[in-house]
């Protein structure tokens, strides 16, 4: 799977380790930064990840910041992106099963590396259930169309 990953300065160290985890799982990974501990603005990186997923250049996205919340808010502004800020394996699974989420947002401050790796594996391996959930995702897409046009 083609995955794009990004972080702000608070997530940069864990992001580096997660890139290695993703590669060991056999995924093609594009790391769009940041690459250092100097303070940066998370919306810049969230947008770059979301843009690539929204355009279909990458299959999934992964974002890491202090809480994951700011990244999620920003990514969800991009058409075609359904970003989920997850706190545990259950939310990582359900965002895929019920919401067909395509960007996973994680907290560098609140989650451990092993827990993140497990959540990522579940996020990448869990299929969308479709059915009644597809109807709901279609309604999300309709809202995007009404807001942004064709």
Domains and CATH numbers, the chain: 2-148 (3.40.1400.10)
Is 131's pLDDT higher than 90?
yes
Q: Are 124 and 60 in contact (CB under 8 A)?
A: yes
Q: How many angstroms separate the CA atoms of 45 and 40, rounded?
A: 9
Average pLDDT over residues 128-145: 96
Query: Is 65 among the catalytic positions?
Result: yes
- Which among 9, 27, 65, 85 is annotated as catalytic? 65
CB burial string 77-89: b at 16+ within 10 A, e below: ebeebbbbbbeee
Active site residue 133: no
pLDDT tens figures, 58-95 = 999 999 999 999 999 999 999 999 999 999 999 999 99
Catalytic position from the list 27, 85, 86, 98: 98
Q: Mean pLDDT, the chain, as a whole number?
A: 97
């Amino acid at each position: 799977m083609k995955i794009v990953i990004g972080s702000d300065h608070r997530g940069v160290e864990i992001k580096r380790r997660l890139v290695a985890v993703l590669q060991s799982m056999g995924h093609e990974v594009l790391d769009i930064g940041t690459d250092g501990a100097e303070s940066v603005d998370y919306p810049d990186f969230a947008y770059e990840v979301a843009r690539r997923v929204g355009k279909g250049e990458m299959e999934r996205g992964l974002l890491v910041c202090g809480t994951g919340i700011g990244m999620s808010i920003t990514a969800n502004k991009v058409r075609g992106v359904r970003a989920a800020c997850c706190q545990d394996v259950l939310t990582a699974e359900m965002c895929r099963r019920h919401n067909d989420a395509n960007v996973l947002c994680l907290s560098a401050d609140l989650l451990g590396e092993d827990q993140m790796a497990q959540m990522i594996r579940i996020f990448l391996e869990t299929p969308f259930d479709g059915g009644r959930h597809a109807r709901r995702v279609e309604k999300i897409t309709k809202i995007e169309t009404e807001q942004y046009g064709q």
